[in-house]
Structure 1
Amino acid sequence: MRNWDTGVVLWIDLEGAVNIRDVGGIPTEDGTTTAPGRLLRADNLQDLSPADVSYLLDTVGLSTVVDLRTKTEVHAEGPAPLTRVGRVSHEHHSLLPEGTWDPAAEALLVRHRQEAERYPDDPACAHYLCYVTERPDSIVGALRAINRAPGAALVHCAAGKDRTGVVVAFALSVAGARRAEIVRDYAATGERISAILARLRSSATYAEDVDKVPEHRHTPRAETMAEFLDQLDRRFGGVPGWLVDNGFGEDEIGALRRKLRTEP
């Protein structure tokens, strides 16, 4: 899927999704690679064609879809083609709060403002830190779904860049991927940002918000993911420390590491 000598990502080209790739083949710190066919990342799956579905099922071996969107998004977009396939299990783990007017909303907004004030030039990093403090249950649930998948697992949100980027960064960190390659995989979504935004504009769910900021503000920056991972190191002892603190045990970390790696 990748030519790591040149840093080029080769995409899975489908008719109904524009930001989908296998995260296998990524070099690890100890000289091996992540295993292909275990974990995919993608944008919204609403527009998959029959040929796309057949490819994911028969060629990729997809067994599990992990949807990081809110229930509001899922309801607004309606059933996706893969939800009609009985042999594919679907798990929903929103990284955003589901209710705007719950009793904790005011405190949540205060914490979001505090994070944003720390990163006035990088609001994405602030959002990502809120994911880990406000929805640890969903990050842990998503990783458990990947762990349980009998075939390939696919993680997606709307654009496949922010929420998906955080969960995949956690998974790749557990697999022992080199930090620079985790950052590179995250930033690779920028190669497709125009196509991603075009898809979002075609959806009544997302169209209104897309052009509230210029395109470059939507584009993932390598510096954002590097700073996010550094903050996890400083605040929580890194991804493994955060996972253990949030109930994802050492045995689960070991199982996920083995699942995502190509062992020598």
Structure 2
Amino acid sequence: MSLVNFRDAAVLGDPEGRQVRPGVLYRSAQPFPAADEATVAQLRACDIRTVVDLRDPRETDPADWAAAEAAGIAVVAAPVNPATDALTARMATMTTAADLGDFYVLLAESAPQAVAAAVEATVRPGAVLLHCAAGKDRTGLLTALLLDLLGVPADRIVADYARTADALPQIFAGLSERHRTALNEASTAQVTVDEGRRLTIPAPLLQAPAEAMSVFLDRVRTRHGGAASFLPACGVPAQTLTAFRAKAGVAAV
């Protein structure tokens, strides 16, 4: 089936085409249940030649992208693990959208190698697809960093992130079917993480509140000087940033 929560990051992030070249950077949820001929056709129609998978290996299955890889589409693993002790502790106290934004900052700061690997993959030939499980949190923060790097205004980045809310029922249905996890409407859900531990998912993580992305962008700017400073601190070489700007920026058109 076609990918859920799939879109060009430039559509809402930069609808006038002032900062971002359309058809370069896409985002989505993971394939449900796995990539098939329809998925491959969707990728090819957008000239997507590289898929960047931000999920932890424990979330993946070899069949997920097998059809795409067989069709010559590269899959790059850049795992951002949300179940570390520090992140789990932060989740336990999360109650507001602002808390979710702070969680995104910690998530990005805790995975510099994955952030760098994902950004490196974006400069490969052809369009690139970023995805995690829902295409909301890890995908959202990586997309936000890349759009910020290109100079997209914060309100546009927030609008792109918040659009995921429309797809959440379909996303949770797919995740529930795949993982047999009860993602309910009562504000919390539980999933199993390392060594059988149970992790309660707080309400903000089951939503896509605009405030969360606003807080994330504000914190990255005040603490790190924005994506242009944060990404090099994660290990992204200057030449990669230059190459991404040349590829995805309007000046490249």
Q: TM-score range by the shorter chain?
A: 0.7 to 0.9
User: Partners of 2:229 and 2:38 in 1: how far apart?
Assistant: 42
Matches within 5 A, 1:27-38: 32-38=18-24
Call closer, same or farther: CA 1:114–1:210 in 2, change over 3 Å: closer
Letter in 2 for 1:56: L
Is the CA contact 1:229–1:238 (under 8 Å) kept in the aligned structure 2? yes
Give 2:43's match in structure 1, choosing from 56, 80, 84: 56
User: Partners of 1:134 and 1:213 in 2: how far apart?
Assistant: 30
Is the CA contact 2:13–2:147 (under 8 Å) kept in the aligned structure 1? no
User: Partners of 1:126 and 1:116 in 2: how far apart?
Assistant: 13
Report the alpha carbon displacement of residue 91 of structure 1 after superposing the two structures with TM: 0.6
Aligned to 1:24: 10
User: Partners of 1:47 and 1:96 in 2: how far apart?
Assistant: 21
Query: What SS does the aligned partner of 2:122 have?
Result: helix
Is the CA contact 2:9–2:26 (under 8 Å) kept in the aligned structure 1? yes
Aligned to 1:156: 131
State the Cα deviation string for residues 134-172 of structure 1 (Å, max 9, x = none): 11110111011011x211110111111111101111111
Call closer, same or farther: CA 1:110–1:63 in 2, change over 3 Å: closer
Report the alpha carbon displacement of residue 219 of structure 1 after superposing the two structures with TM: 1.6
Report the alpha carbon displacement of residue 26 of structure 1 after superposing the two structures with TM: 5.1
Letter in 2 for 1:139: V
User: Partners of 2:169 and 2:238 in 1: how far apart?
Assistant: 40
Report the alpha carbon displacement of residue 27 of structure 1 after superposing the two structures with TM: 6.1
- TM-score, structure 2 length as denominator? 0.82
User: Partners of 1:241 and 1:112 in 2: how far apart?
Assistant: 27
Aligned to 1:12: none
> Does residue 179 of structure 1 match 2:166?
no
User: Partners of 1:167 and 1:155 in 2: how far apart?
Assistant: 8
Is the CA contact 2:20–2:249 (under 8 Å) kept in the aligned structure 1? yes
Is the CA contact 1:175–1:261 (under 8 Å) kept in the aligned structure 2? yes
Report the alpha carbon displacement of residue 196 of structure 1 after superposing the two structures with TM: 1.2
Report the alpha carbon displacement of residue 237 of structure 1 after superposing the two structures with TM: 1.3
State the Cα deviation string for residues 73-127 of structure 1 (Å, max 9, x = none): 113x744344442421111011116xx7xxxxxxx5257536865x642342233
User: Partners of 2:136 and 2:48 in 1: how far apart?
Assistant: 20
**Higher mean Cα deviation, 15-24 or 210-219?**
210-219
Aligned to 1:42: 28
Is the CA contact 1:38–1:260 (under 8 Å) kept in the aligned structure 2? yes
> Does residue 96 of structure 1 match 2:81?
yes
**Higher mean Cα deviation, 61-70 or 234-243?**
234-243
User: Partners of 1:27 and 1:70 in 2: how far apart?
Assistant: 27
Matches within 5 A, 1:75-86: 75=61, 78-86=63-71
Tell which has more relative contact order, 1 or 2 (C-alpha 8 A, sep 6+).
2
User: Partners of 1:20 and 1:221 in 2: how far apart?
Assistant: 18
Letter in 1 for 2:128: A
State the Cα deviation string for residues 40-93 of structure 1 (Å, max 9, x = none): 101112444413312321x21111010011111113x74434444242111101
User: Partners of 2:95 and 2:122 in 1: how far apart?
Assistant: 34
Letter in 2 for 1:34: V
Aligned to 1:223: 211
State the Cα deviation string for residues 201-236 of structure 1 (Å, max 9, x = none): 211x2x315238538641201100000111111111
User: Partners of 1:115 and 1:129 in 2: how far apart?
Assistant: 13
For structure 2, list consecutive stretches of 5 or more residues without a partner in the other structure. 189-202
For structure 1, list consecutive stretches of 5 or more residues without a partner in the other structure. 1-14, 101-107
Is the CA contact 1:61–1:152 (under 8 Å) kept in the aligned structure 2? yes
Aligned to 2:246: 258
Q: Give every structure 1 segment of 4 or more consecutive aligned residues whose post-TM-superposition deviation is greater than 4 Å.
A: 25-28, 114-117
- Taking only aligned residues, the RMSD between alpha carbons, in angstroms, comes to 2.6
User: Partners of 1:31 and 1:200 in 2: how far apart?
Assistant: 34
Aligned to 2:117: 141
Is the CA contact 2:2–2:42 (under 8 Å) kept in the aligned structure 1? no
